[in-house]
Every structure is written in C-alpha cells, then in structure tokens.
Amino acid sequence: MHRVALPPDFQAWREAARDALRQGYLPEQIDLQDDSLERPMVLALEADEAPGGPPVERPHVPKAFLEAAQNAAVHRDPNRWNLLYRLLSRLQAERNLLHVGVDTDVAELRRLTDQVRRDVHKMHAFVRFRKVDAPDETGNPTEHYIAWYRPDHRIVPLVAPFFAERFAVMHWTILTPDASVRWTPEQRQLEFGPGVGREQGPREDDVEDLWRSYYASIFNPARLNPEAMRNEMPIRYWGNLPEVDLLPQLLQRAEGRVESMVLQQKGKTTAAPFVPAEHELTILRRAMPSCEGCELYKHATQVVPGVGAEGAHLMLVGEQPGDKEDVEGLPFVGPAGGVLRKALGELRIDPAEVFMTNAVKHFKFVQRGKLRLHQNPRMGEINACRPWLRAELDAVKPRVVLCLGASASKSLLGGTFALMTSRGKVHESPYAERVIATVHPSAVLRARDQAGHEQLYNFLKDDLAMAYELSRHPA
C-alpha cells in the first residue's frame, strides 16, 4: 500500500492525485490520508507497493467533478481523499460515471457535497458580526467587525467570497476553529489565517440591541413555522445569534399578531395596537383606558378590566360589562354578578381564588330615556377585543377557563361554537389546559319561569363546580 499524508487542502490532493495517476497507482493500491487527523501508526516494515496500473499522463474529468471535489474536499470525512481518487481513476474510462446516481461512489460524493452545501447555507445565515474599535495601518481608530463561528466542516474558503461581496465596504474578520479570514476594503482582498478558539471571539456590543429591535420589527408571524425553525436552526448555533432570546416572546405572541394583521388587512378594527408588549396585569390595567380598538369606547363610561390575582388557577370569562360594571369599573358587580357570587358561595369557592374578566371590555347598550339597555356585542367587536383577553390569559396563565355565555365561548372556542349543545364539556385550547363553557348568569335572571330558572342555575353551578375542581389539579 502506497500511503501519502495530505493537508486538508484541495490543491494538495489534486497534485498528489495527478502524480499517483502518472505513476499508475490503482485506487486499491493507495491510501491518501488526512494529516490533520490522528490515525493508527503504520509499521515502518510494511513495504510500499509498486504501481499496478497503466500510467495516465493527462487525466481528464468533467467540470462537474472538479466543482463537486472542491466541495467534498472541505468535508471532515477522513475517507474523502480516497473517494475522490477512486472516482478520478474510474472517470478515465467511465466518462458518464457521475450520471449514475445508484453507483456507491457517486452517491457518497453527493452525500458529502450536500452536507457541505447545507453547512455553507447555515454559515451565511447564522454569522453575526460584533463591532470593535481597532487601529488601522496608520494607528488611527477604525470600526472593525468580528464574528466567531463554528461550522461543521472546513468551509471558510467557500463562504469568504460571499461575505466579501455582501460587506464590501466594511473591515471584517471571521474566526473559526479551523481558519480565519479578514477583509480589508481598501485592498479589496481576502487574507486567510489560522483558526482560533471561542475565547478570542468578541463579546456582545451595542450593535446587537439594534439588531434585536430590527429583528423584532421584521418578524412575520404569518410565516411562522416553529418546527422548520428548529430544523433549520439547531441549538448548537444559538450561541451565535443575539435574536434567540427574543424568540420565545415572539412565538408566544405570534398568533395574536397574525389575527391583528388579518383584521387590519380586511379593514376591521382591533385592539392589538393598544395592548402592551409586557403582559402583566398592572401594566394591562394602566393601558386599557387608552384603547380605541372598536367603537364601543366612545359611548361607555370607562373600560372594565379583569380582577383577581396573577396565578389564579381558574378564570371566569363573561360577555361584557353591564350598566353597574360600567359605572363602578369592576366586573360582575351587577345583578348577573350577584347570581354568580351566590353560586360561588354555595360551592364554598372564595372569589379571591378566581380571576374574573369579560370578553369585551366596554359596555354596549342602547339608550331608552334614562335607561341604558344591554346589547349583545357583535362578532367583530368580540374579535376586536380578543387581544386584551389573550393578554390577560397570558398574564394569569390559568389551568381552567370557564366561559360564561355564548359571546365568551365564541371568543375562545370559535364563532360557530354552539353553547347549549356543548356546555359542560372540556375543550382543548391554546389558552389554558382546559376550557369549559356554561350559561351566563344573566340567562338565569331572564328565565321565563321558576323551572327554567332552576335548570339554568343548576347548569351554571354544576359547570362552575367542575371547573373549580379541575383547576385544583394540573392536567
């Protein structure tokens, strides 16, 4: 066996391969080793085998092979040099070999080149430069941008031209464990050097705050695909990306932003622009009075936010404030609230354990003399106010949500939800572990007779008891 140690460099392999062909070495007679890798020691007594094939003075290969070989050469597979020599030798007689996709050697070449191409693509996407102040050749301070990155393969020579073209007016350096490359715009040339460790890379700079703000502003929730993101951005790359710490927050709010975008595109109103980014109850309460997400704010006395503690395991969601709630600014303090609190008392549920709110935050009514008569909110008004309800859900994070009435149920379970056929059932929802729908306390008050009153009250009480019991135990 004729053994040749090669540096991880395509030109070195090319010269060694040409020389081996000229001497007539067959692929099975030669071992082209990567001298950057540790290999088992070979006994010095082993004889160097004489060439057994005809000399090839002028080897010929298609252009496609040279391109593929340059990509495969930067792969870390220790057997790549022998694979390339085997293909080179076979191509002298098998001119169409690269078109035979089922051939073992051709398939292996494609595997290596595909992996390198994916690695190049990821380096294009995941390199993040950090600004440092460094002196130029005359000693004057100048802005220099440095990035440290760990690719899977030795791809720095392949990616450097991309960055030179994209950041042609910047002074920049890319550091990797295998090699480094520097670009100087005045000379317009790439300078390659040795690799360095992560500790020599730059730390966070002020540019990263600007990048995070920019990334958040261009993040398009309508194109969100978390599974694809995880596949394309494996955890090992996260350390290079300052925007990674924004992703949980952006993912959490993506659904609401998509709905807001759809509503705005359709010319419909929405409260989304008025909802703060931080979903804490005190912050939400301060922000609600400024909401003009639908027309209801123009006529109501005031907005009525939810009440209760963050961390409550059970959330009760009603339809909208009534006349007394509108005056006092608190939910469930009117006649319907009296029915609800009676049921809570009979079930020995402390109201302080429960968070109470409404799907719509402003009172909708029609004026009849001095009276303000309740009107059911339209679906468009329920949709417009949903960002506030979702923000409260995000702040409280209840285990169970009990929707009181059709409007609240449609807000969380969809516009086609049928209350009386689906009440008392546990539904899956992204807003809580479990969502249950029941009748609104006001329906009890509107019952036509005593039998109807008792039936509706029992529906409310039974569903409330079930929701409370479920809220005491995680799903």
Within-domain flag for 269: no
| Mean local confidence (pLDDT), 100-111 | 92
Q: Which helix (H) or strand (E) holds 455?
A: helix 450-471
Does residue 152 share a domain with residue 88? no
Residue 183 CA to residue 42 CA, distance in Å, equals: 42
Residue 290 CA to residue 271 CA, distance in Å, equals: 10
pLDDT at 132: 79
Q: Name residue 142's beta-bridge partners.
A: 134
With CA atoms as reference, report the closest residue to 18 among 49, 51, 53, 57. 57
Does residue 381 share a domain with residue 286? yes
Residue 444 CA to residue 441 CA, distance in Å, equals: 5
Give the model confidence (pLDDT) of 66-85 as tens digits.
Answer: 999 999 999 999 999 999 99
Does residue 213 share a domain with residue 105? no
Q: Could you tell me if 364 and 377 are in contact, meaning their C-beta atoms sit under 8 angstroms apart? A: yes
As a whole number of Å, the end-to-end CA separation of the chain is 66
With CA atoms as reference, report the closest residue to 124 among 132, 116, 134, 113. 116
Map residue 438 onto helix, strand or coil.
strand
Does residue 388 share a domain with residue 290? yes
Choose the final residue of a domain: 80, 100, 123: 123
Does residue 334 share a domain with residue 217? no
Give the model confidence (pLDDT) of 288-342 as tens digits.
Answer: 999 999 999 999 999 999 999 888 999 999 999 999 999 999 999 999 999 999 9
Q: Could you tell me if 30 and 4 are in contact, meaning their C-beta atoms sit under 8 angstroms apart? A: yes
| Mean local confidence (pLDDT), 415-420 | 83
10 Å Cβ neighbour count for 141? 9
Domain count along the chain: 4
Does residue 352 share a domain with residue 443? yes
Within-domain flag for 259: no
Backbone angles phi, psi at 372, to 5 degrees: -115, 110
How many residues belong to the chain? 475
- Report, in this order, helix, strand and coil percent for the chain, each rounded to 5: 50, 15, 35
Does residue 422 share a domain with residue 340? yes
Does residue 426 share a domain with residue 353? yes
Does residue 445 share a domain with residue 320? yes
pLDDT at 40: 47
Instruction: Tell me the residue type at 58.
Output: R
Map residue 402 onto helix, strand or coil.
strand
Backbone angles phi, psi at 52, to 5 degrees: -120, 5
Does residue 324 share a domain with residue 444? yes
Q: Could you tell me if 73 and 36 are in contact, meaning their C-beta atoms sit under 8 angstroms apart? A: no
Within-domain flag for 313: yes
Within-domain flag for 227: yes
Choose the final residue of a domain: 103, 123, 143: 123
269's CB contacts (< 8 A; 6+ apart) are 263, 293, 294, 295, 380, 384
346's CB contacts (< 8 A; 6+ apart) are 461
| Mean local confidence (pLDDT), 273-286 | 92
Within-domain flag for 22: yes
| Mean local confidence (pLDDT), 389-412 | 92
- CATH code assigned at 308: 3.40.470.10
21's CB contacts (< 8 A; 6+ apart) are 55, 56, 59, 88, 89, 92
CA 1 to chain centre: 52
Does residue 291 share a domain with residue 213? no
10 Å Cβ neighbour count for 273? 12
CA 72, 78, 79, 84 dihedral sign is: positive
State the helix-helix crossing angle for 406-413 and 379-396, rounded to 10 degrees.
70
- Determine the structural domain holding residue 352 and report its residue range: 275-471
Can you count the helices (H) and strands (E) in the chain?
A: 17, 14
| 48 has a pLDDT exceeding 60 | yes
Does residue 167 share a domain with residue 22? no
Confirm whether pTM is higher than 0.75: no
Q: Which of 50-59, 318-327, 379-388 has the lowest mean pLDDT?
A: 50-59
Within-domain flag for 30: yes
pLDDT at 1: 79
Within-domain flag for 262: no
Choose the final residue of a domain: 190, 217, 252: 252
Q: What angle do CA 288, 292, 294 make, to 5 degrees?
A: 115
Within-domain flag for 308: yes
Instruction: Tell me the residue type at 32.
Output: L
Mean pLDDT across the chain, nearest whole number?
A: 85
> Radius of gyration over alpha carbons of the chain, in Å?
35
User: Is residue 413 very low, low, confident or very high in pLDDT (cuts 50, 70, 90)?
Assistant: confident
Residue 361 CA to residue 156 CA, distance in Å, equals: 57
pLDDT at 411: 85
